[in-house]
Structure 1
Amino acid sequence: MAAVQAVLQRCNPSLMEPGGNPEPDGAEAAGVVVFLTDRRRIQKVLWRQLFALDSMMSLLEGLQSAQQLLTESCPPHPEGGARARWKALKVERMSMVEETETLLRSLQDKIQQIHKRRDKLTNLVQHLHSKKQHHQKLERSLHQAQMSLRSYNGQLAQLRVEAGTVLGQLIGWERFRNEQLLLITENIIHVRLLAISQSELIVELRPWFSSDPTSYELKSLKLSVNLSDDERFTLEVKEVPAVLLEDWMKGRRVELSCDLQEVLKCYVAQAWLLSEIQVLRSSFAIDWRSDQRLLVYLKTASLVCHLQVEEGYPSVGRVRLLSVRRDGKHVNMSGLKPPPSVLSLTSWLVFLCSSPLI
């Protein structure tokens, strides 16, 4: 009841005067307290609205134009009193909490680093101990190896003397074997040794010729055989005659004899074509590209003809005119019709040389 009187005294002192209405009972007093509390809450809202309206009216009275309202910055929010101090304390508390959390995280990281370093140090000590034991074992093994090495040095000296005697015998037998092998090889596979050094052999392949007197004479093929330390060899053509050697240009030294036979067989297989090309070189400006089986005929300084020689020429394959170019541009070959007798490479070159169409 005293609390109700205090509220009534604060809100409406006239209710507490003696000449007024009789003192209300508890239920009525409680209802009055609720009413006054709601009324005070409504008044506070109205006071805030009136304060905001008064501030807006004061701001509008001080403006010169509507454009000034759009361009002028908002007035600062008034801060002061207990609310400002409470906000400042709240900000300070949040800052201290964040700082404390940061310090705790940093302390936790340092503790983890200390644990890691301690574990690492323990592992290093164990590793050092194992290294020390391994070093002691190596020292014992080294001592035993030195003792064995002294024993082996004596045996090695004795073996060197014996090996020198055996090596002399082997050199003599190898020289005799090479001489006999050279004679046999020269007579059987038509290979003649022209020069020899420690790492290179120069040989001449002498192909057999046909008994046909009309066949072309095929020149000998000179090759350079380069020997390496890893028991392998490399072939290199010493002169101009073109021959396809890609499959036998490299190999093991023990396969040299067989590869020379294959080279000779390949060279003889192309005997007709290569011999014909060798004869044509003396009469025509030609270039033979063996990898493409293409013959390039330079009729004049600006006119170039390309002839394709098919596999199996002259018995099976034939010669085709691929293109004619003048100053790098293609020439129309529709009117260029050779007679049926033009079948061989020589006939083609004679026809192209004498044709007035190109």
Structure 2
Amino acid sequence: MKAIVFEAPGSTPVLAEVDLAHPKAGEVEVTITAAGVCHSDLHVISGDWDISTPVVLGHEGSGVVSALGPGVTDLEIGDHVVLSWVPACGVCRYCLAGRPAQCVLVAEVVAPLGVLHDGTSRLTQQGRTLHHYLGVSSFAERVVVPVSGAIRVRKDAPLDVLALVGCAVATGVGAVTKTANVQPGSTVAVIGCGGVGLNCIQGARLAGAARIVAVDIMPEKLELARRLGATDVIDSSSTDAVKALKEAVPEGLDYVFDAIGKISTTEQAIAALGLGGAAVIVGLPPTGQHARFDPLALAEADQRILGSNYGSVVPQRDIPWLVDLYMSGELDLESLVSARRPLSEAPEALADLAAGRALRQLLIGSPTPIETE
């Protein structure tokens, strides 16, 4: 099959022929319908994160189950699925506590080693092992994933746009509704109006926030933020974000979401809080960076700093719920899509994202029908 292979930091991802082994026990093969292009992929390319290479990129995707490994009974060939980049084991202490985003197997094996649950890869190229990215590797025509990483969804929903639910939508909406548990009537700010930030805005709207302030440096993203639920917008390219937020909401904000993950935006999120407010770190910074804040001021104001991994969602429960919200018209996914491109244009799509020329781009897979015999 064809896939996008990344050799190491400093190289350019390329479209290549690779081999995909059949699924083993507890795994399924999925033929990819669409894969979303996310900033997390850029972190890998730039060397911000230390991951195993060579690797097949992509961690946001949707598709159709095309083969089952031994013992799989939860899914059937032909099922429509959204891929989850937290293919939880289901048996560690965090999974049993209802926190699969902290799964020990994912944190210690799948993510850092670039393999599946058994510690091996299903991907090879001319005899050498290729690594899986976050247990997904959706920049490919087909993938093999643990069954917990393929979430069955309703078949009447357009499968291509559902790819976004697997990362951007779950992360953004979940950060608001699950991690922070934003209450009706709250005041909310979102710093960064990319794919995740715009879904934080949608989450705040769904939660009934009274004020939703969007902060970004690009006017077109701020315009889209208004369409998706922002009540106020701040162009931080021409003003100090913290000062503008305090002027917009003089009593201080109940929640500020950093959807970028730069040290500067994390510090802005904390500085803009009101009494009892919570700063929620959603965007992920490069490894090893540290933010500064005044702990005395934080304590005296009874404020909190919350980390949000994957929006604190439970994929098997929350991904179908998010799809239902989309189908009922409560979530707007189509407005998030700035382009649909073939898999072969993944390098160009990544370059456009890095340059700020794109929002969420979908790499569209082959329309070849799935055999279900």
Answer with 1 or 2: which has the greater Rg.
1
- Greater share of residues in strand: 2
TM-score, with length taken from structure 1: 0.19
Higher relative contact order (CA 8 A, sep 6+): 2
TM-score, with length taken from structure 2: 0.19
